Amino acid sequence: MGMRVDIVTLFPEICAPFLNTSILGRAADKGLFEAHCHQLRAYTTNRQNQTDDYPYGGGCGMVLYAQPIADCLRAVAAQAAAQGRAKPHVVFMTAAGKPYTEEDAKRLAACDDLVLVCGHYEGIDQRVIDAFGDEELSIGDYVLTGGELASLVVADSVLRLQPGVLAEEKGYQEESYWDGLLEYPQYTRPEVWEGRAVPPTLLCGNHTKVDAWRAAQSRARTRARRPELYENWCATHPAPIPRWKRAESARLVKTPAQWQAVAEIYRACTGADAGADAPAPAALPQEAQGQGWAFYLHETAANPDAVVAVRHATGEIGWLYVQPAARSQGLGRKLLDFARKKLPEHPAPYLQGVGRHTALYTLCLGMGYTPAPGDGLAGECTLKMVYTRQNETAPE
């Protein structure tokens, strides 16, 4: 027996056609779920079939009576019980509810019977929500004239997760929000449309390359459009440290030529056009040496391309700069990992002054660093990031 969804509404004529059409309509015809829309007015007991009244305490608008909603919910529960179903899970759709997310969709998709109650006018008598509601959900920070569209949004996002509803089960696993990242851009024929070509990687026929391109697009989009989702994704998806290539090295900076290379990288990264992400340190690299910083210069095939420094006295990591031309290859990750391993005597190495929503911040999140407790709460824009991954704090 498939899932059952009941919608309690003053406007079943809005809800029913949606559930009977397209993908959901076909799935319902196949018996993959059953959906029922209930006319609330049919449960009124007054002569005028009135469903609402003025609010106690005054104010504009009308409030839905508790009684018809309660009686309708009892009738739905009796129908479900007659089918041998579990007690229905009752959700009130209101603008004051908890924000609805894909996580909620996944959770509700596991219900045997889901009942969605649509509010109308100014609201619903709170007592019936308290008595029957398992939760209140809002589909967004805006106010609708009623809960019908909201209940259809929830029904649609829950029902599409039922086995067999989507042609390809894999389909929804790749989509926006499923894994906490937004979906990558999609293209179909023709190859060139009004002068705009499909990105060449998608035509190369190499699935590994296509997957890598799509993953990079997803991350870049999420980072740009939904920084809070991206931060959360980084913190829950530890980034693997790329292997060092044979041509790579990182050496303690000693010679004038090495200091020169460090200064050049620093200038390239903090110059007007490059270092939007980079914190501007108080002093130049060589001066920082006097404050106990040990600098390491990274080279690829004898070509200096990145720098990082550690301070053994305090456990601080800093001065992480990657030449603009050498970015997006995991160098920052390698050097942050390298620097931490240079501080085995410190159980909690840290970075100071990391800007929120910068590449360095999300890099830190993905590598087991978290903002120091209290940091950022007062709206500071730079944070102290402390390495706190439990299972890796032992000296290496």
Instruction: Say how far apart CA 268 and CA 270 lie, in whole Å.
Output: 6
62 contacts ligand ADE (rule: CB under 6 A): no
Nearer to ligand ADE, 95 or 198 (CB): 95
From the CB of 227, what's the least distance to ligand ADE, in Å? 23
Q: Which residue is nearest to ligand ADE (CB)?
A: 150
292 contacts ligand ADE (rule: CB under 6 A): no
The DSSP annotation for 297-346 comes to EEEETTEEEEEEEEETTTTEEEEEEE-GGG-SSSHHHHHHHHHHHT-TT-
Nearer to ligand ADE, 99 or 199 (CB): 99
Nearer to ligand ADE, 122 or 175 (CB): 122
Do 308 and 320 meet the contact criterion of CB atoms below 8 Å apart? Answer: yes
Tokens of 197: 């070509």
Nearer to ligand ADE, 140 or 292 (CB): 140
Nearer to ligand ADE, 92 or 293 (CB): 92
From the CB of 64, what's the least distance to ligand ADE, in Å? 12
User: Per-residue contact track with ligand ADE, 70 to 109, x per CB under 6 A?
Assistant: -----------------------xxx-x------------
Assess whether the previous peptide bond of 190 is cis (omega < 30° from 0): yes
The binder of ligand ADE chosen from 2, 68, 119, 366 (CB under 6 A): 119
Instruction: Say how far apart CA 109 and CA 167 lie, in whole Å.
Output: 17
Annotate 346-374 with three-state secondary structure: CCCCEEEEEECCCHHHHHHHHCCEEECCC
Nearer to ligand ADE, 25 or 146 (CB): 146
* Alpha helices by DSSP H, the chain: 12-19, 22-29, 66-82, 102-108, 126-132, 148-159, 169-173, 207-225, 227-236, 256-270, 285-289, 331-341, 359-366
The terminus-to-terminus CA distance of the chain in angstroms comes to 55
From the CB of 102, what's the least distance to ligand ADE, in Å? 16
150 contacts ligand ADE (rule: CB under 6 A): yes
Task: Write out the binding residues for ligand ADE, residues 3-22 only, by CB under 6 A.
Answer: none
- Residues contacting ligand ADE: total by CB under 6 A: 13
Task: Write out the binding residues for ligand ADE, residues 126-145 only, by CB under 6 A.
Answer: 138-140, 142-144
Nearer to ligand ADE, 122 or 375 (CB): 122
Task: List residues bridging with 382 in a β-sheet.
Answer: 355
b/e map 168-185, b = 16+ CB within 10 Å? eeeebeeebbeebbbebe
Note the residues at the interface with ligand ADE (CB under 6 A).
93-95, 97, 119, 138-140, 142-144, 147, 150
